[in-house]
């Protein structure tokens, strides 16, 4: 099939590459000329395991191309995926300007029938606005074509996006009742991902739009709930890790997203929680639990700071801290809403110096922190090339992202490299009893 994917961020690029991998003719559009130049020169503008290899393979086979030409992209695809960003607006609602711009461009240039698919995470009612935008442009041109607007939300985890796309646990299709032909086309498109058993869940468009937000809100709630319990666990002498195992064994609860830590971040949970809260307010049906989830998460990002300030009797000015992990999660270089940004900003503004290491996110971290800090504060941060460099002559180590290479360190390095073997662990990587035996002062969360 001929497919156009509008937007080459995480969702658009992964979607386009995976559709090409199963034999479709895919053209990816982005108005960011720098991104397209990188992709056309064989590079990848984001870090996602396995993505670069798949891009090279499918470009070489002629199934995948990249362009900035809007007219070409509209002409190419009978199926048009809109996978552009929906960043939070000033009031927390989803900013739909890029989605609607994509819709208008389809209306401006389409000459044949189209299936238009909202792949971006969008509020309830967006498909109606996309339909209206396309119709208005077609009316201006006096062009009469058939088109359907579907909702097909993504459920990709950064760091495992290729696997999630190629082997999805569900494929949600929101479709109008009179669009049976479009549904048949989508089932055909997704057939290669749907062989073992039927993963397609068909519903109305608004329910599909709502499903994506609800999924992320539920997962964010689990995280904040466990983080709040972890803080209580510390006060009561309870090990939250033992509690996690105890409740996770209940099949009604399960183990996923029950790890206590220093807060969630990334491109999805923070903005989607905010957007759902705003939607609820617009309809006069406030979501009090979700507001608490958001508040708890913001507070959780400062828990390690509180531990450090308490340990150093209220003053961390002049201290030098190592930081392991900058990306919001392992397997990605994404710094959007990363807890490391809040933690480093607070440390630096309190007068500390930072030696920071991340396996892949250093460049993105430099760009992100430059937005958060003054030039003078940025001079307090040194970015290291190895994790051991981030230990040399530091007063303590902060662990913020649970990369695999952090999980089995040589504990002698903490004694030999650091001024004192002190660890503030935002991901509970180590056994507190082992740390005690190793002579390491260990400050995890909820343990």
pLDDT in tens, 58-117: 999 999 999 999 999 999 999 999 999 999 888 888 999 999 999 999 999 999 999 999
Q: Which residues contact 164 (CB under 8 A, 6 or more apart)?
A: 155, 156, 157
Q: The pTM is what?
A: 0.93
Inter-helix orientation angle 339-349/303-311, to 10°: 30
Instruction: Identify whether the C-beta of residue 151 lies closer than 8 Å to the C-beta of residue 209.
Output: yes
Indicate where the chain has its CATH 3.40.50.720 domain(s): 2-202, 229-443
- Kindly indicate the confidence band of residue 178, based on its pLDDT and cuts at 50, 70 and 90: confident
pLDDT at residue 35, rounded to an integer? 95
pLDDT bracket for residue 230 (50, 70, 90): very high
pLDDT given for residue 196 in this prediction: 77
- Residues 372-400 have pLDDT tens digits of 999 999 999 999 999 999 999 999 999 99
User: What pLDDT is attached to residue 201?
Assistant: 97
pLDDT band at 181 (very low <50, low <70, confident <90, very high): very high
Q: What is the pLDDT of residue 108?
A: 98
Per-residue confidence (pLDDT) for residue 88, from 0 to 100: 87
Look at residue 195 in the predicted model and tell me its pLDDT.
Answer: 81
pLDDT at position 354: 98
pLDDT tens profile 131-169:
999 999 999 999 999 999 999 999 999 999 999 999 999
Which of 18, 165, 262, 268 is labelled catalytic? 268
Average confidence (pLDDT) over 18-42 = 96
**pLDDT, the chain, mean:** 96
CB of 92 closer than 8 Å to CB of 53: no
Q: Identify each DSSP E strand in 161-312 by its residue range.
A: 171-174, 200-203
- The residues pairing with 441 across neighbouring beta strands, listed in sequence order, are 422
Q: Which two tokens stand for residue 39?
A: 């992709």
Cβ atoms within 10 Å of 175's Cβ, excluding its own: 23
Percent of the chain with pLDDT over 70: 100
Give the C-alpha separation, 425 to 324, whole Å.
Answer: 10
How far from 317 is each of 307, 321, 348, CA to CA, in Å? Answer: 15, 11, 9
Report residue 246: phi and psi, to 5°. -65, -40
Classified as helix, coil or strand, 373 is coil
CATH code, residues 2-202: 3.40.50.720
How many Å apart are CA 154 and CA 248, to the nearest integer?
Answer: 26
CATH T-level assignment (fold) for domain 229-443: Rossmann fold (3.40.50)
Beta strands 25-29 and 171-174 are unpaired
Predicted confidence (pLDDT) per residue in 236-288, tens digit: 999 999 999 999 999 999 999 999 999 999 989 999 999 999 999 999 999 99
Task: Give mean pLDDT, residues 157-183.
Answer: 93
268 in catalytic set: yes
The answer to whether 26 and 16 are in contact (CB under 8 A) is: yes
Which DSSP category does 391 fall into?
A: G
pLDDT at 203 over 90: yes
CA distance 116 to 226: 39
Place of tokens 């000329």: 33
Neighbours of 237 (CB within 10 A): 6
């Amino acid at each position: 099939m001929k497919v156009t994917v509008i937007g080459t961020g995480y969702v658009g690029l992964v979607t386009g590459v995976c559709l090409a991998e199963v034999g479709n003719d895919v053209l990816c559009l982005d108005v960011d000329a720098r991104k397209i130049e990188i992709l056309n020169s064989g590079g990848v503008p984001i870090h996602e395991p396995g993505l670069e290899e798949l891009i090279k393979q499918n470009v070489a086979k002629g199934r995948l191309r990249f362009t900035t030409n809007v007219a070409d992209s509209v002409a190419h695809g009978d199926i048009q995926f809109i996978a552009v960003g929906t960043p939070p607006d000033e009031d927390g609602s989803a900013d739909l300007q890029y989605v609607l711009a994509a819709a208008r461009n389809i209306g401006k240039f389409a000459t044949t029938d189209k299936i238009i698919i909202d792949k971006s995470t969008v509020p309830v009612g967006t498909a109606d606005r996309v339909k209206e935008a396309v119709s208005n442009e077609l009316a201006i041109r006096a062009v009469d074509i058939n088109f359907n607007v579907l909702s097909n939300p993504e459920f990709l985890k950064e760091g495992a996006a290729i696997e999630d796309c190629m082997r999805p646990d569900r494929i949600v299709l929101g479709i109008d009742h009179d669009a049976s032909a479009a549904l048949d086309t989508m089932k055909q498109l997704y057939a290669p991902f749907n062989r073992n058993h039927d993963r397609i869940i068909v519903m109305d468009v608004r329910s599909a739009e709502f499903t994506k937000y609800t999924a992320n809100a539920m997962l964010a709630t689990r995280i904040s709930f466990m983080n709040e319990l972890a803080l209580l666990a510390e006060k009561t002498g309870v090990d939250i890790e033992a509690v996690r195992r105890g409740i996770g064994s209940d099949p009604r609860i399960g183990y996923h997203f029950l790890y206590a830590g220093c807060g969630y971040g990334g491109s999805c949970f923070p903005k989607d929680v905010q957007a759902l809260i705003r939607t609820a307010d617009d309809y006069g049906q406030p979501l009090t639990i979700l507001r608490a989830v958001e508040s708890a998460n913001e507070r959780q990002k400062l828990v390690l700071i509180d531990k450090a300030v308490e340990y150093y009797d209220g003053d961390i000015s002049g201290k030098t801290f190592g930081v392991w992990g900058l990306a919001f999660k392992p397997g990605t270089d994404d710094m959007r809403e990363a807890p490391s940004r809040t933690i480093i900003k607070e440390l630096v503004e309190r007068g500390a110096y930072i030696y920071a290491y991340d396996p892949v996110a250093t460049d993105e971290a430099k760009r992100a922190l430059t937005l958060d800090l003054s030039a003078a504060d940025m001079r307090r941060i040194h970015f290291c090339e190895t994790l051991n460099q981030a230990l040399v002559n530091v007063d303590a180590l902060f662990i913020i992202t649970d990369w695999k290479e952090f999980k089995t360190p040589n504990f002698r390095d903490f004694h030999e490299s650091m001024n004192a073997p002190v660890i503030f662990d935002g991901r509970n990587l180590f056994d507190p009893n082992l740390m005690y035996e190793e002579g390491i002062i260990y400050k995890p969360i909820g343990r």
